[in-house]
Amino acid sequence: MDAAVSTELDGLSLGANATRERGGQTAEQTETQGQVVKRASSGESKKRVERETKEGIDCRKLENFSSWYQQVVIKADLIELYDISGCYIFRPWSFAIWEKIVEFFDAEIKKLGVQNAYFPLFVSERRLRTEQEHLEGFAAEVAWVTKSGSSELDEPIAIRPTSETIIYPAMSKWIRSHRDLPLKLNQWSNVVRWEFKHPTPFIRSREFLWQEGHTAYADRSEADHEVLQILELYRRVYEELLAVPVIKGTKSDRERFAGGLYTTTVEAFVPANGRAVQGATSHSLGQNFARMFGIYYEGKDSGEKLMPWQNSWGCTTRTIGVAVMVHGDDRGLVLPPRVAPLQVVIIPIITKSASADVISACEAICSCLQRANLRVKFDDRSEKTPGWKFNEWELRGVPLRIEVGPRDVQAGTATIARRDTMEKWSIRVPNHSISEEEDAFAQEIHQTLVRIQTNLFERASAERNARIRCVSDWGTFMQAIVQRCMALTPWCNLNECEERVRQQSVQDSLAYRERLATETDPSATDAVLSGAVKTLCMPFASELERLGLTNAAEWEAPAPEKQCFACNGPARRWALWGRSY
């Protein structure tokens, strides 16, 4: 394979980790979705069908989203449940996805001069209470250690919900002069946030994995620039790796990071249940934490004591859950090729008379794709039928399947199946003594993976865009919310108005559910989401223009005649609203 093709494939696969299994398959079968049916039926085969069918998804995504999601993350081997509510075991399949995200993001922040470090899991109560607004923002979520064995601790110790109060006392020792700036640190770690009612794997859990960056600058403009640099990297994680569209914007004062100056965010949306998800955040902390933790440096010219401008930013394993929710279907996972642990699975269709030839052909294809730096698996487990394997790998979301049977070997072809569209077609396999044919075959597989990645993003973008409503009054606002959409509105940007929207949206949703129960079908109330509506973000001008929702002039200051949709006061910003996890 030539260098150009190899480099392009590297960019798609983000590194190879191809594996193979040995063995042979001997049963001839026909397959149907969700089960395996033998040509000769018997009592034993009927029991086997029932057993294997239970391993698939038995509910529909659009009919019972919560049950569908719980089944997918468990049956697709993403998590194992644990005996502490809200804590989950990451199985290798999900951790491999996280590793792809880590690999990409870690390389990108190092280009910006960020260095990795690690700080303790525990924080003293005294330090945690240093910044009161910050503590109040996390108080309900803090888990405390109060005993050592049977003895009470002299002072309770908190398990970090975030690490500002752990890292900044160390920064106060390391930053003394303007020469010590900028200081750019990141750590990959776990955190614990305890208080919530409805745990959801990856989305809301008591312990999760993340990265948290903490930086300090002498110049505010440099700090502000970094906030947006990191936010752009988060957009790339979602859109380029996970094929999930997001909207970049600024959080309202009510929703900003506790103790910070302002918060920027990437917001994702799950059309299947009408809920938004805060994808990742990049915060400007201003000089507040520097003041509280005594972080000062000597100015370059004046020699006076100055405070640095600080940022913090974080992205979590929530990314995995968002991708599952957005792309998954009634068969299970649908994984974007760039983060899929396996990009291609090869399955032999074996008969007794052609076993060796089929296996040899599959091994040759596997070796070819391995050399192309693709993550590929040759699945020739003898104890599993081809139909069982088809369903298993569809459930686990592998983007591309290659099937090889005796007729394929004779014709010099293989059958390709795409997971995202379920399309199947025949492709010529290379003569492995001719390198040019191997190159062409690998390039065709690579291009198919690229098309899958592109299709997933375009499909998700179209579904998300169809759920954004531009509204200017309360009636159409609630209509959009009831229809499980997001609402873009002119808004006054006042905290008291946002609080009224939260309260009134709850009351109106309850009233709407009661009307449905009495005037139409009582079961229809299950389709109406409950809970308060809140601001998701105030989208950047570039985002509104990219979506074709408004132009830059309107963004900078809504026209004088525009009023806040909720209180009729002067509109100052465009705000995106919705129900959120």
Q: What is the pLDDT of residues 106-132, one digit of tens each?
A: 999 999 999 999 999 999 988 888 766
Six token digits for residue 16: 């190879």
Determine which of 240-249, 396-405, 420-429, 509-518 has the lowest per-residue pLDDT on average: 509-518
Beta bridge partners of 494: none
Residue ranges in 491-551 assigned as alpha helix (H): 495-519, 541-547
3-state secondary structure string across 160-173:
CCCCHHHHHHHHHH
Across residues 335-347, what is the average pLDDT? 98
Q: Cβ contacts of residue 107 below 8 Å, gap of 6+?
A: none
What is the DSSP pairing of strand 344-348 with strand 376-378? parallel
Greatest Cα-to-Cα distance within the chain, rounded to the nearest angstrom:
90
Q: Which residue has the higher pLDDT, 19 or 393?
A: 393
Fill in the amino acid letter for 515: R
> Cis omega before residue 182 (within 30°)?
yes
Asked if residues 339 and 378 have their Cβ atoms less than 8 Å apart, the reply is no
Fill in the amino acid letter for 428: R
Residue 385 half-sphere exposure toward CB, CA atoms < 13 A: 18
Q: Which helix (H) or strand (E) holds 158?
A: strand 151-159
Phi, psi dihedral angles at 199 (to 5 degrees)? -65, 140
Whose CA is closest to 516, among 531, 507, 528?
Answer: 528
| pLDDT computed for residue 66 by the predictor | 95
Q: Does domain 344-464 have CATH number 3.60.150.10?
A: no
Banded model confidence at residue 388, pLDDT cuts 50, 70, 90: very high
Asked if residues 234 and 279 have their Cβ atoms less than 8 Å apart, the reply is yes
Checking if the pLDDT of 38 tops 70, the result is no
Mean pLDDT value across the chain: 87
CATH domain 70-121+161-327 topology:
BirA Bifunctional Protein; domain 2 (3.30.930)
Task: Measure the CA–CA gap between 266 and 233, rounded to whole angstroms.
Answer: 10
Task: Measure the CA–CA gap between 264 and 442, rounded to whole angstroms.
Answer: 41
Q: Identify the CATH number of the domain defined by range 468-579.
A: 3.30.110.30
Residue ranges in 372-473 assigned as alpha helix (H): 386-395, 406-411, 435-465
Task: Measure the CA–CA gap between 139 and 133, rounded to whole angstroms.
Answer: 10
Determine which of 68-72, 122-126, 318-322, 415-419 has the lowest per-residue pLDDT on average: 122-126
Task: Measure the CA–CA gap between 314 and 334, rounded to whole angstroms.
Answer: 26
Q: Hey, how many other C-beta atoms are within 10 angstroms of the C-beta on 447?
A: 12
Banded model confidence at residue 528, pLDDT cuts 50, 70, 90: low
| pLDDT computed for residue 553 by the predictor | 54
* Coil, strand or helix at 368: helix
Phi, psi dihedral angles at 461 (to 5 degrees)? -65, -45
Determine which of 273-277, 340-344, 390-394, 555-559 has the lowest per-residue pLDDT on average: 555-559
Banded model confidence at residue 15, pLDDT cuts 50, 70, 90: very low
Query: Model confidence over 166-222: pLDDT tens digits?
Result: 999 999 999 999 999 999 999 999 999 986 778 999 999 999 999 999 999 999 999
| pLDDT computed for residue 135 by the predictor | 66
* Coil, strand or helix at 185: strand
Banded model confidence at residue 31, pLDDT cuts 50, 70, 90: very low
| DSSP tag of 237 | I
Q: Cβ contacts of residue 34 below 8 Å, gap of 6+?
A: 53, 56, 331, 391
Task: Measure the CA–CA gap between 250 and 253, rounded to whole angstroms.
Answer: 9
Whose CA is closest to 268, among 336, 204, 326?
Answer: 326
Q: Cβ contacts of residue 112 below 8 Å, gap of 6+?
A: 184, 226, 229
- Give percent above pLDDT 70 in the chain: 85
| pLDDT computed for residue 516 by the predictor | 72
Banded model confidence at residue 520, pLDDT cuts 50, 70, 90: low
| pLDDT computed for residue 541 by the predictor | 85
Six token digits for residue 197: 């009612």
* Coil, strand or helix at 38: strand
| DSSP tag of 200 | B
Checking if the pLDDT of 10 tops 70, the result is no
CA separation (Å) from 18 to 48, 364, 374, 384, 401? Answer: 31, 14, 7, 20, 14
Q: What DSSP string runs through 558-581?
A: --TT-B-TTT-SB--EEEEEEEE-
- Residues present in the chain in total: 581
| pLDDT computed for residue 137 by the predictor | 65
Across residues 239-263, what is the average pLDDT? 96
Q: Hey, how many other C-beta atoms are within 10 angstroms of the C-beta on 424?
A: 11
Checking if the pLDDT of 263 tops 80, the result is yes
Across residues 326-343, what is the average pLDDT? 98
Checking if the pLDDT of 515 tops 60, the result is yes
Considering only CA atoms, give the Rg of the chain: 27
Cβ-count burial of 422 within 10 angstroms (0-12 exposed, 13-18 middle, 19+ buried)? Answer: exposed
- How much of the chain is in helix, strand and coil states, percent to nearest 5? 40, 25, 35
Six token digits for residue 479: 């209509």
Across residues 398-420, what is the average pLDDT? 97
| pLDDT computed for residue 128 by the predictor | 83
Task: Measure the CA–CA gap between 530 and 274, rounded to whole angstroms.
Answer: 11
Checking if the pLDDT of 141 tops 90, the result is no
Domain ranges of the chain: 70-121+161-327, 344-464, 468-579
Checking if the pLDDT of 303 tops 90, the result is no
